[in-house]
Amino acid sequence: MLSDEDLRADRQPEFTQVDLEMSFSSEEGIIGLIEGMMAELLKNILGVKIALPLPRLEYRDAMDRFGTDRPDTVSAWK
């Protein structure tokens, strides 16, 4: 289900959320589903193909390597 929130001053209109209703799913299953959906959107809308699975960074690794849980991996990826 795709949900479109009411417009408010603190929200940008392009933000939506995807609600998944899945029984007995695993973390890997959910991540794989979302990655596949994002890859299809990028391919169909922008013509951009991305390699899956996407790179992942564990919380502890991010903190140890970058000192933050939201590193700029574009310029800081090692």
pLDDT tens digits, 26-41: 999 999 999 999 999 9
Omega before 53 cis (within 30°)?
Answer: yes
Q: Which pLDDT does position 18 carry in this prediction?
A: 81
Q: Which pLDDT does position 23 carry in this prediction?
A: 92
Beta carbons of 4 and 12 less than 8 angstroms apart: no
Q: Which pLDDT does position 40 carry in this prediction?
A: 96
What is the pLDDT of the chain when averaged over all its residues?
84
pLDDT tens digits, 12-69: 666 667 888 999 999 999 999 999 999 999 999 999 999 999 999 899 999 998 899 9
